[in-house]
Amino acid sequence: MRMEELKLITAANLINLRSAAGMTQAELGSMINYSDKTISKWERAEAIPDAFVLKQLSEIFDVSVDNLLTSHDEWKPIVTEDEPVDEKSYSVGKIMAIAILSVWTLALTAFVALWLAGIILWQPFVVALPVSILVYLVLKVSFHRRQYLEYVIAAFVFSLFLSAFFLCYPRYTPWQLFLIAIPAEVIVYLSCSLRKPFNAHKKRHSTNRRVNKNNG
C-alpha cells in the first residue's frame, strides 16, 4: 500500500471516529497534546500520525491501531454484543445545560420550601454554585471535552472557598480563606500543565530520532 493511500484511509477513519464521538478537532487535539491544526492536517491526508499517536487514538476511540489503518467501505460505530446500536444522537451542550439547571432548580426548590415554612435562607444557592460547577466538570470529562478543563477546575476550587465564606457570613467574615485560595489556584494551574513539557520533550525526541534515522 502506498503512503498516500494510507494517509487517505487514516484520514477518513479519523474523521468518522471523531464525528461519531461528537468531538471537535480542538478537543481531540487537547487530549493528545496536539493543536487543532495538526488534527486538521491529518484529516486532510496531508500527514499521518506516528505510531505513538496512533496508539493514543486507538485508546481514545476504543478501536485497534489496525482499525485506524484499514479501509472501511461502509463505516459503522463499533458496539459490543451487550450494547444495542443507538440510532439517536444527543446534544452534549444541552445535556450539560439540563444537568446544571437541575442543580439550581433543586436549590430553588429548597429555598421555596423553607420560605413556605417561614424560614428564609439563601444558603441553598451558595451550595448550588460549587455543585453545578462540579457537575459541569464531571460531564466535560465524561464526554471527553477537555478544552479549557483547567479553568473549570480552577473555578470549582475557587467556588469552594467562596461558598465557605458566604456560609459563615454574616456571623463571621473569614476573608483569610482567600489567602489559601491563591496558592490553591496556583497548584491547580501547575498540576494541569504538568504533562505539557514532558510531551513536548518527547515529541522533540521522536522528531530528532526520525531525522537521525533518515540521515542514516
Per residue in 156-205, pLDDT (tens digit) is 999 999 999 988 887 888 888 888 888 888 888 888 776 544 344 444 44
CA distance 199 to 206: 10
Give the Å distances, CA to CA, from 25 to 19, 83, 149, 167: 9, 27, 16, 41
How many other C-beta atoms can be found within 10 angstroms of the C-beta atom of residue 2? 7
Name the residue ranges covered by the structural domains of the chain: 3-81, 101-196
State mean pLDDT over 62-91.
61
Instruction: Report the pLDDT value the prediction gives residue 118, as an integer from 0 to 100.
Output: 92
Coil/strand/helix, residue 99: helix
pLDDT confidence bin for 73, thresholds 50/70/90: low
Sign of CA dihedral 145, 146, 152, 156: positive
pLDDT single digits (tens) 108-142: 999 999 999 999 988 999 999 999 999 999 988 88
Q: Which CATH number fits domain 3-81: 1.10.10.10, 1.10.260.40, 1.20.1250.20, 3.40.430.10?
A: 1.10.260.40
Residue 208: exposed, middle, or buried by beta-carbon count in 10 A (0-12, 13-18, 19+)?
Answer: exposed
DSSP element (H, E) containing 204? helix 195-215
Length of the chain: 216
Instruction: Report the pLDDT value the prediction gives residue 131, as an integer from 0 to 100.
Output: 95
- Are 133 and 156 in contact by the 8 Å Cβ rule? The answer is yes
- Are 126 and 161 in contact by the 8 Å Cβ rule? The answer is no
Is the pLDDT at 75 greater than 60, yes or no?
A: no
| CA-angle at 139, arms to 138 and 145, nearest 5° | 105
CA distance 186 to 170: 29
Residue with cell 521522536: 206
Extract the C-alpha cell encoding 18.
471523531
Instruction: Report the pLDDT value the prediction gives residue 196, as an integer from 0 to 100.
Output: 46
Is the pLDDT at 216 greater than 80, yes or no?
A: no
The rounded percent of the chain whose pLDDT value lies above 70 is 81
> Within 13 Å of residue 41, how many CA atoms lie on the same side as its CB?
10
- Are 161 and 181 in contact by the 8 Å Cβ rule? The answer is yes
What is the value of pTM for the model shown?
A: 0.51
